[in-house]
Chains A and B, each alone.
Chain A
Amino acid sequence: MLSDEREQFRGDARRRLLLVGGCLAAGFVVLGGRLFHLQVMRGGEYRTLAEDNRISLKPITAPRGRIFDRENRTLVENIPDFEVVVVPELAGPLRMLLKRLGRHIDLTEDEIKHLLQQARKQRSFLPLRVKSHLSWEQVSSIEVRIHEFPGVDLQNQSVRYYPFDALACHVLGYLGEPHEGERKRFSRINFRAGDLVGKSGVEQRFEEFLRGREGVLEMEVNAVGRHVRELHRNPSEPGEDLHLSIDSDLQKEAQDALGEEVGAVVAMDPNNGEILAMVSTPSYDPNQFIRGFSHAQWQSLSTDPHRPLINKALQGQYPPGSTFKIVVALAGLAAGKLEPKEQVNCGGYLVKEEQRFYCWRRTGHGSVGLLQALTQSCDVYFYKLAERLGIDAIERQARRMGLGAATGVNLDGERPGLIPSRTWKRKMFKTGWFPGETLITGIGQGYVLTTPLQLATMIATVANGGTVYRPSLLKLQPDQSPEVMTRNYFSAYHLDVLRQGLEAVVHDTTGTAYKSRLEGNIRSAGKTGTSQVARHRREKSGQIIKTTNEKLLDHALYVSYAPVEKPRIAIAVVVEHGGHGGTAAAPVAKRVLERYFNKYGHSA
């Protein structure tokens, strides 16, 4: 009886023990399953997270490539820039230290206060930047006393330096912090805080070439970010140097020749498209972008109506004026619709559809052939030629001379200019082409727009006998051949006639650029242009009323090449609102050409 009762108890207790044991078993099964899930199924994922925790990557910056001119003169280099840092953990009382340090590097009370605030925000074993862009005096003054400043260190980073300041600033460009578009464009580059990127010029175009590849230092860090040991070092690859086709002497001469004028000069080697000088005024000092601007400085630079940040050589679009007559003449000769000796009478104007089209010389040029028409830039002659050719032929020839489309020079932001056509007109204005529009196109007015770079390409094509080379800012390597965009096959006779006309522009006493002929016996050829900015107001007699508003003054243009026997340099000059091409633009070209021949001699 007693035994039965005991067995009953035991049985009951056993069942109940099983319940408790079952609950525990369930618990352990869940733990085991969870362990399996975390470690076996998701182990790889957590391994990655653990590595991310453990490894801190520190970039090793790659020195940016330097930029040289065609004679290996340094246009852009990297110079050391010193900054003082302090590791607060090692410094002792920070305020005292900063005060003592301040005597050597001119720290203001406010700066010290700001630094102390910063120090509170960051971990005390990380260096705190006290001051950047130290002068040599400041560096050496700290250097000799470094033992007096525990935790203080001088750090050396390299920054861009442009030794010739504003020289060729538009070609070189400047650096700045990358914006969203640039981050997308250079998606292969991993930008970091404080990284700079080329914002314009070759600094921008050759960003990836100049930049090099940054290295990386893999460091093991602990939970608070303190460096434990170096795991692996992947050194950086320095950026490559860039050798430009620019000749600093010509560049400087062209810049000086433009002086205070607003405009652009492009000089190139007509035999391969190498750009020898490319100037746009006003200029700026790219070093300022490194040192940093004051707000006022930046304001004045970015809101200047003369737009110093724009490279007018390829972003400024100007009516080519009479320089376009070269294109029209070639179109006429090529089409067989122009007999050079044919005389045309200029009475000062031409009537077309009850409208008077004036020659620049109110009194007329009388009877002129092609030679005189070019020399004296007779408008009536070219009205008639254009009328005879029609817009289609002019457009075709202009495009074959590198006009009306971006040349594809190795700089960003190039504008295409404009060569009007019937289809273009219909698309833009929904109207047909008027014959009068052909006439003014014939003298490079109306809708026609060209950049100084296109004009230089055009005159270089005449100089080399018909080949349109793609202009380039890079010096051709000995094994490289220049890139040809178009080849024109002009007959030797036609070319000769045209060139005689252009030579007479400079060397004939009646030529529009006679005053800009070169010293010595170097003969150059050229064509002036004066492009109308606003419709001239004329008196009843037809006389132009001289304007005093500088903004309405004509642009002065000049294209030229030399020497005529075997041209080695072609040049285009635009002076905004400069007045007449012969008086404002040609003298600029003259200075550049003279500098060229002084330097390189008459014959190559």
Chain B
Amino acid sequence: MNDSGSGNAWLSRGGTGSLNWPERLRRFPWSLLLLLLLTISLGFGVLFSAVGGEHNLWLFWRQIIQTGFGLSILFGVALVAGEKIYRRFAYLFYTGSLLLLAITMIMGSVGMGARRWLELGFFRLQTSELMKVALILALARYFHDRAKAGSQGWRDLGIPFLMILVPMAMIVKQPDLGTAVLLAGVGMGMIIVAGISWKVLLTLVIGFGASMPLAWNGLHAYQKQRIITLFSPERDPLGSGYHIIQSKIAVGSGALTGKGFMAGSQSQLDFLPERHTDFIFSVLAEEWGFFGGVTLLVLYVLIILRAFLIAEMANDRFGLLTVVGATLLFAIQVVVNVGMVLGLLPVVGVPLPLISYGGSSMVTIMIAMGLLAHVNLHSRQHGRSV
């Protein structure tokens, strides 16, 4: 096997080669798919209630179609491509995504006060979603190529930081703080696993803390408002505090067992804003209570644990880091979204993976899950998998 990269990738004896189709299906992580399907079904139940049952059923059907599309992408990403394809095209994909981001900045269409979409005639492309996947692959490729024993110092991290910061800056400008923070988290997690020296990590953490006031000044007024509101929503109960207050009321009033399917007054009587998209967790928590909320969190934790198992068994650094990136993309979205709904984090537009209504985020998550499956498929230690 001839690795495309230079340097000493730690599995130079290569992967599984080309697998035949029955083998690919056999090696597919069906338990992961099962967990995903369970979560998605739960999501359908909540969404049905969130869109108001019969009245907006088209939204519900659309989400089913989008989910089906997402699942086929998952299978495509996992099964069709050969072992090395993603690594090979990682940089090209990254460069392309960066270009599209730039184009979006210049001529993207404006929605809800932000410039996030690129009109492609038949559909609207949210280019920042592409960038999430592209960044994961590009960083994985970079560290795969330059793998060396021990920790990596400043010199090794210059380029990865640039790879993260450039798209981040463009997305912040859109403005889309949620996605930018997500990219930072995913990138940072990957760098840690890739082997950053502890000294550098510590310096970065301290530096990050010190630069907060500076970052604060760079925020848009509405972004500042959201952060202020987080800590005292009662200051502006009808304005920017409204989302947080109503969401907390919805969640809290669900109590232990919830109010029952379609019976959440906060959800059904329009008190909850964005209840089928970013605030859908409130609907779940109101109607199914603590039990419902914890059930979903447990499903997420199981998915993440399953993903870590895949990471652990990856053939090479590219595989390992891809899995780490994809898992973080998923997990950080969960934590940020639920944290926001529960009034722990500022209101940033991050959807709840697998549950929130919306095509773009569904596709991105499915690609990430497809990458997980793909790595699992080509893991030589597959026999150990659950």
Residues in chain A within 8 A of chain B (CB atoms): 2, 5-6, 8-10, 12-14, 16-17, 19-21, 24, 27-28, 30-32, 34-36, 38-40, 42-47, 49-51, 53-54, 220-224, 228
Q: Is the CB of B289 within 8 A of A39?
A: yes
Task: Contact check, B249 vs A50: say whether CB atoms are below 8 A apart.
Answer: yes
CA distance A228 to B246 in the complex (A): 19
Q: Are A13 and B320 in contact (CB under 8 A)?
A: yes
Q: How far is the CA of A8 from the CA of B300 in the complex (A)?
A: 31
The answer to whether A224 touches B270, judged by C-beta atoms less than 8 angstroms apart, is: yes
Q: Which residue of B lies closest to A9 (CB)?
A: B10
Query: How many angstroms from the CA of A39 to the CA of B248 in the assembled complex?
Result: 9
Query: Which residues in A have their C-beta under 8 angstroms from that of B249?
Result: 46, 49-50, 53
B265 within 8 A of A: yes
Q: Which of A19, A28, A35, A43 contacts B335 (CB 8 A)?
A: A28
Are B293 and A222 interface neighbours, CB within 8 A? no
- What's the Cα separation between A228 and B251 when bound, in Å? 22
Q: Which residue of B lies closest to A6 (CB)?
A: B10
Within 8 A of A (CB), among B268-327: 269-271, 285-286, 289-290, 293-294, 297, 300-301, 304, 308, 311-312, 317, 320, 324
CB pair A24–B248 under 8 Å, yes or no, is no
A39 — which chain B residues lie within 8 A by C-beta? 251-252, 254-256, 285, 289-290, 293
CB contacts (< 8 Å) of A221 on chain B: these are 269
Look across to chain B and name the residue whose beta carbon is closest to the beta carbon of A18. Answer: B308
A27-B331, A54-B266 given; 13 more Cβ-contact pairs under 8 Å: A2-B12, A9-B317, A28-B300, A35-B285, A38-B248, A39-B293, A43-B254, A44-B255, A46-B249, A49-B252, A50-B253, A54-B269, A54-B271
Residues of A within 8 A of B250 (CB): 50
Q: Enumerate chain B residues within 8 angstroms of A17, measured Cβ to Cβ.
A: 193, 308, 311-312, 324
Q: Which 5 A-B pairs give the minimum distances between C-beta atoms?
A: A46-B252, A43-B255, A50-B253, A223-B270, A222-B269
Tell me if B149 is interfacial: C-beta within 8 Å of chain A.
yes
Smallest distance from the beta carbon of B79 to chain A beta carbons, Å?
26
Is A53 touching B331 in the complex (CB atoms < 8 A)? Answer: no
State whether the Cβ of B328 lies closer than 8 Å to any Cβ in chain A.
yes
Residue contact B149 to A5, C-beta cutoff 8 Å: yes
In the complex the two chains form, what is the Cα distance from A19 to B201 in whole Å?
12
When distances are taken between beta carbons in the complex, the residues of chain A under 8 Å from B256 are 39-40, 43
CA–CA, A47 and B250, complex, Å: 8
For A6, give its contact among B11, B193, B265, B297 (CB under 8 Å).
Answer: B11
Candidate in A44, A46, A228 with the most chain B CB atoms within 10 angstroms: A46
Task: Name the A residues within 8 Å of B193 (CB-CB).
Answer: 13, 16-17, 20
Cross-chain contact A28 with B324 (CB below 8 angstroms): no
Q: Is the CB of A228 within 8 A of B269?
A: yes
Interchain CA distance A47-B317 in the complex, whole Å? 50
What's the Cα separation between A19 and B191 when bound, in Å? Answer: 12
**B344 interfacial by beta-carbon distance below 8 Å:** yes
Q: From known contacts A31-B339, A224-B270, infer whether A46 and B192 are also in contact, taking CB-CB under 8 Å.
A: no
Does residue B262 face the partner (Cβ distance < 8 Å to A)? no
Most chain A Cβ neighbours within 10 Å, of B193, B304, B335 = B193
Task: Find chain A residues with CB under 8 A from B270 CB.
Answer: 222-224
B320 cross-chain contacts in A, Cβ below 8 A: 13
Inter-subunit contact B251/A35 (CB<8 Å): yes
How far is it, in angstroms, between the C-alpha of A404 and the C-alpha of B256 when the chains are bound?
69
- CB A544 to nearest CB in B, in angstroms, measures 76
Q: Is B134 an interface residue (CB 8 A)?
A: no
For the complex, is B189 an interface residue (Cβ under 8 Å from A)?
Answer: yes
Q: Are B297 and A9 in contact (CB under 8 A)?
A: no
- Is B101's beta carbon under 8 Å from chain A? no
User: Cβ of A35: which chain B residues have Cβ within 8 Å of it?
Assistant: 251, 285, 290, 293-294, 297, 342
A26 CA / B251 CA spacing, docked (Å): 21
Q: Which of B11, B255, B265 contacts A54 (CB 8 A)?
A: B265
Of chain A, the residue at the smallest CB distance from B201 is A19
Q: A35-B342, A39-B293, A223-B271 are in contact. Are A45 and B252 (CB under 8 A)?
A: yes
Chain A residues whose CB sits within 8 angstroms of the CB of B344 once the complex forms? 30-31, 34
List the interface of chain B (C-beta within 8 A of A): 8, 10-12, 147, 149-150, 189, 192-195, 246, 248-256, 265-266, 269-271, 285-286, 289-290, 293-294, 297, 300-301, 304, 308, 311-312, 317, 320, 324, 328, 331, 335, 338-339, 342-344
Q: Which A residues touch B343, using CB under 8 A?
A: 34
Tell which of A2, A6, A14, A40 touches B312, judged by Cβ atoms closer than 8 Å.
A14
Can you report 20 residue pairs joining A to B where beta carbons are below 8 Å apart? A5-B8, A6-B10, A9-B149, A14-B312, A17-B308, A31-B342, A34-B339, A35-B290, A35-B297, A35-B342, A38-B252, A39-B255, A39-B293, A40-B255, A46-B251, A47-B252, A49-B249, A50-B250, A50-B286, A51-B265
Known: A5-B10, A6-B11, A20-B192. A53 touches B266 (CB 8 A): yes
Report the Cα distance A6→B380, complex, angstroms: 15
B residues in contact with A31, CB < 8 Å:
297, 335, 338-339, 342, 344
Q: B290: nearest residue on chain A (CB-CB)?
A: A39
A5 contacts across to B, CB distance below 8 A: 8, 10, 149
Q: Tell me the bound Cα distance from A14 to B328 in angstroms.
A: 16
Q: B191's closest neighbor in chain A, by CB?
A: A16
For B150, the chain A residues whose CB sits under 8 A away are 12
Chain B min CB distance to A297 (Å):
42
| CB-defined contacts of B342 to chain A, threshold 8 Å | 31, 34-35, 38
Q: Are A43 and B324 in contact (CB under 8 A)?
A: no
Q: Are A12 and B195 in contact (CB under 8 A)?
A: yes
Decide: A50 and B149 in contact? CB cutoff 8 A.
no
* A2, A16, A45, A47: the one within 8 Å of B192 (CB): A16
Question: Once the chains are docked, how many angstroms separate the CA of A138 from the CA of B8?
Answer: 97
Cα separation A5 to B148 with both chains bound (whole Å): 10
For B253, what are the chain A residues with a Cβ–Cβ distance below 8 Å? 43, 46-47, 49-51
> Nearest-CB distance from B155 to chain A (Å)?
19
Q: How far is the CA of A40 from the CA of B312 in the complex (A)?
A: 37
B147 partner residues in chain A, CB cutoff 8 A: 9
Shortest distance in angstroms between A34's beta carbon and chain B's nearest beta carbon? Answer: 5
Q: Would B304 and A24 count as touching, CB distance under 8 A?
A: yes
B335 surroundings in chain A (CB, below 8 A):
24, 27-28, 31
> Of B254, B266, B324, which one neighbours A20 at CB under 8 angstroms?
B324
Is B266 within 8 A of A50, CB to CB?
yes
CA gap between A592 and B281 in the complex, in Å: 82
- Smallest CB separation, A224 vs chain B (Å): 7
Q: Is there an interface contact between B248 and A40, defined as CB atoms closer than 8 Å?
A: no
- Nearest residue (CB) in B for A228 is B269
Q: Is the CB of A43 within 8 A of B252?
A: yes
CA distance A20 to B196 in the complex (A): 13
Are the CB atoms of A42 and B266 closer together than 8 Å? no
Docked-complex contact A38 and B251, CB < 8 angstroms: yes
Which of A8, A43, A222, A228 is packed against the most chain B CB atoms within 10 Å? Answer: A43
Q: Give the chain B neighbours of A220 by CB distance below 8 A.
A: 265, 269
Query: What is the distance, in angstroms, from A408's C-beta to the closest C-beta of chain B?
Result: 52
Evaluate contact between A20 and B328: CB separation under 8 angstroms.
yes
Residues of B within 8 A of A228 (CB): 269
Task: State the Cβ distance, B257 to closest chain A Cβ, in Å.
Answer: 9
Most buried by A among B253, B255, B290, B342: B253
CB distance from B298 to the nearest CB of A (A): 9
**A224 / chain B contacts, CB cutoff of 8 Å:** 270
Residue on B nearest A31 in the bound complex, by CB: B338
Residue of A nearest to B150 (CB): A12
Decide yes or no: A28 and B297 within 8 Å by CB, A9-B149, A222-B270 being known contacts.
yes
Docked Cα-Cα span, A21 to B189, in Å, equals: 10
CB distance from A374 to the nearest CB of B (A): 78
Interface centre among B189, B255, B300 (most CB of A within 10 A): B255
What residues of B have a CB within 8 angstroms of the CB of A27 in the complex?
Answer: 331, 335, 339
Contact call B297/A36, Cβ cutoff below 8 A? no
Complex formed: what's the CA distance from A50 to B246 in Å? Answer: 9
Nearest chain A residue, comparing its CB with the CB of B242: A223
Residue of B nearest to A50 (CB): B253
Residues of B within 8 A of A38 (CB): 248, 251-252, 342
Question: Bound complex: CA of A6 vs CA of B252, how far in Å?
Answer: 50
Given contacts A20-B192, A34-B342, contact A42 B252 (CB under 8 A): yes
